[in-house]
Structure 1
Amino acid sequence: MSPEFVKSDPSMWEAIHADPSIPLERSLVRMIINDQRRLSRRWLFPYARFFSRILVTAISLIKRVLPMRWMSLKTMDALCLWFLRRFVAPDAVELLIRHFVVETNLVNFIIRNTPADIEPVTLRPTTLAGLGENAVVEHDINVYDVLIALEGVQVEAPERLDFSELDVPPLDPERRHPRLLRLDIQTALCLMNIPFCIALSLEEFRRAIHSLRFDDSFLEILAVLTKDDTYRHWKMGGLSLWMDTNVDVPQLVYRHALVCEYAHAHLVKSAGGDR
């Protein structure tokens, strides 16, 4: 259509913020939009994405010949925390901390509402420092543990759902700490994927990537437990039996975080309001 026939000049960002189909609180939507509008997202992300994919592929190939652990998990944690404190915007760091809490809430909701023989998980960091101590590895393992605990269990809607502990406590992304750069979350994920690949064994790295394919499994379980098809609308068609790890990891991690936020927000709404 020719410009002279255009009746308005709508903003993509305003439309996203106004989209009534997004179940998140408007303040959280605004935080995500602001993060996506950072200069680093426009100018650095495309290059960081390409650089990360090439380097991770090369490291993985070399590790097939030299399969020892190249970096301790403790060193990986320290390196990532240093990077987050100095080069990543506080809002992006808050979104990252928040994801760990949100995913734990979803895992525990499933544990509390099924006969799964497993204790609720406790990974609910509220500070940047809380992302250390193997939090990334533990967060992936929790997904596997709950699914394994459901083996042989009949997943069905209980008579009464337990919506307890769906709160997200106040989070401290260390806004007081001066940053040399203020990278967006997607650029940060691309760069942090490199030390993850270096520190994790090939099997650990493969397990971490494959955990993202269980998003559809969790959405299906939530749909069954709540008798609510809304969760099924957010599926990607990622079959857990499709064992392909040659994927764009940072992109899938970002989508995984959004899916968790959508599912969590819908659970909170079903529970009767904010918690």
Structure 2
Amino acid sequence: MKKPELPRPPEFVRSDPNMWEAIFADPSVPLDRALTQQIIDDQRRLSRRFLFPIARVVSRLLIGIIMVIKRVVPRRWMTLGTMDNLCVWFLRRFVSPDAVELLIRHFVVETNLVNFILHNTPAEMAPVTLRPTKLSELGDNAVVEHDVNVYDVLIALEDVRLTKPETLDFGDLTIPPLDAERRQPRLMKLDIQTALCLMNIPFCMALTLEEFRRAVHSMRFDDSFMEILAVLTGDDTFKHWKVGGLSLWMDSNVDVPQQVYRHALVCEYAHAQLLKLSGGEYPRHTEVEFD
């Protein structure tokens, strides 16, 4: 009996799409096209392809060793001022200007989100003032203050009943001009994710165990912030960016740089959605060529 012939796999693919072009064209991404392009360009750096996998493993290994030793010697191995100066020096000399600008921008974006919540609830807390506009301002305990603000606003909401206000106060959602010191000569131009892996090491050395745990856990509140924004605006779009990061789940043994990067993207998405709800919308059409 003659065996039936099996269908042959196609010898060629009818389309040869560019991954980056598809990411840029994705209509679900609410970001400004120029910002989207900036993020894509950062992801396409050679350091992201070749150095990041190594830096990621080395960073997690060193952080694990530091955390174990700190349980025996629970103290700061580096002052916060030294950590700030070291990170600013590193960003100035070894990280691409686009990546530095994305990092500075994140502090402003998160402050805008926090203040939007404060403006639209009766929480008894003064608006947050952390809005760095240049690289040198990241050396004023900005990283620690940035984490503390998340905790302060949640604590201020303890006895507040969250409801959608009759009129939303969008306040100031602007992003001021940011100075990433583009004219500064750099020995390398690392991408933001590789930079985060390396900067996480002095960050862990400078903080106490409890401070480091608090900083890492602050990113578990992303889902909480998305839920709060959804209630205040009546827009369930914010809920789409939740990942089930329960704030009652205490776990500091995570890939911190990866969590930080996702945290920054979630904040950007939420900020863009607020801009849209305020009556403005990022431009969607920009001509960009991908190799």
* TM-score where L is the length of structure 2: 0.93
Partner residue in 2 for 1:120: 127
Partner residue in 1 for 2:61: 54
**CA distance in 2: counterparts of 1:152 and 1:261, whole angstroms:** 28
Identity %: 75
Q: Please give the residue correspondences for 1:84-163 in structure 2 after superposition, counting only pairs within 5 Å.
A: 84-163=91-170
Structure 1 residue corresponding to 2:250, chosen from 243, 247, 255:
243
**CA distance in 2: counterparts of 1:155 and 1:134, whole angstroms:** 31
**CA distance in 1: counterparts of 2:70 and 2:172, whole angstroms:** 41
The one-letter code matched in structure 1 to 2:109 is: V
- Alignment of 1:26 with 2:27, yes or no, is no
- 1:274 CA displacement: 5.7
Partner residue in 2 for 1:36: 43
- 1:152 CA displacement: 1.1
- Alignment of 1:229 with 2:236, yes or no, is yes
Structure 2 residue corresponding to 1:216, chosen from 187, 209, 223:
223
Partner residue in 2 for 1:270: 277
**CA distance in 2: counterparts of 1:222 and 1:129, whole angstroms:** 31
Aligned to 1:55, the other structure's residue is in SS state: helix
- 1:48 CA displacement: 0.1
Structure 2 residue corresponding to 1:78, chosen from 82, 85, 93:
85
Structure 2 residue corresponding to 1:176, chosen from 176, 183, 188:
183
Pick the structure with greater CA Rg.
2
**CA distance in 2: counterparts of 1:68 and 1:199, whole angstroms:** 9
The one-letter code matched in structure 2 to 1:4 is: E
**CA distance in 2: counterparts of 1:231 and 1:2, whole angstroms:** 42
The one-letter code matched in structure 1 to 2:52 is: F
The one-letter code matched in structure 1 to 2:218 is: S
Give the 4+ runs in structure 1 shifted more than 3 A. Answer: none
- 1:129 CA displacement: 0.6
**CA distance in 1: counterparts of 2:15 and 2:103, whole angstroms:** 36
Aligned to 2:11, the other structure's residue is in SS state: helix
**CA distance in 1: counterparts of 2:9 and 2:19, whole angstroms:** 19
- 1:146 CA displacement: 0.2
CA deviations on 1:209-266 (whole Å, 9 max, x unpaired) are 0000000000000000000000000001000000011100000000000000000000
* TM-score where L is the length of structure 1: 0.99
**CA distance in 2: counterparts of 1:118 and 1:35, whole angstroms:** 36
**CA distance in 2: counterparts of 1:69 and 1:91, whole angstroms:** 32
- Alignment of 1:12 with 2:14, yes or no, is no
Structure 1 residue corresponding to 2:267, chosen from 251, 260, 264:
260
Structure 1 residue corresponding to 2:73, chosen from 56, 66, 77:
66
**CA distance in 2: counterparts of 1:134 and 1:83, whole angstroms:** 16
**CA distance in 2: counterparts of 1:85 and 1:120, whole angstroms:** 30
- 1:4 CA displacement: 2.6
**CA distance in 1: counterparts of 2:74 and 2:251, whole angstroms:** 20
- Alignment of 1:193 with 2:200, yes or no, is yes
The one-letter code matched in structure 2 to 1:111 is: L
Aligned to 2:77, the other structure's residue is in SS state: coil
The one-letter code matched in structure 2 to 1:39 is: L
Structure 1: gaps spanning 5 or more residues: none
Aligned residue pairs total 275
- Alignment of 1:164 with 2:171, yes or no, is yes
Aligned to 1:4, the other structure's residue is in SS state: coil
**CA distance in 1: counterparts of 2:131 and 2:10, whole angstroms:** 51
Aligned to 1:156, the other structure's residue is in SS state: coil
**CA distance in 2: counterparts of 1:183 and 1:236, whole angstroms:** 28
**CA distance in 1: counterparts of 2:136 and 2:200, whole angstroms:** 19
CA deviations on 1:109-141 (whole Å, 9 max, x unpaired) are 000000100000000000001111100000000
Q: What is the RMSD of the two structures over their aligned residues, measured on CA atoms?
A: 1.1
The one-letter code matched in structure 1 to 2:133 is: T
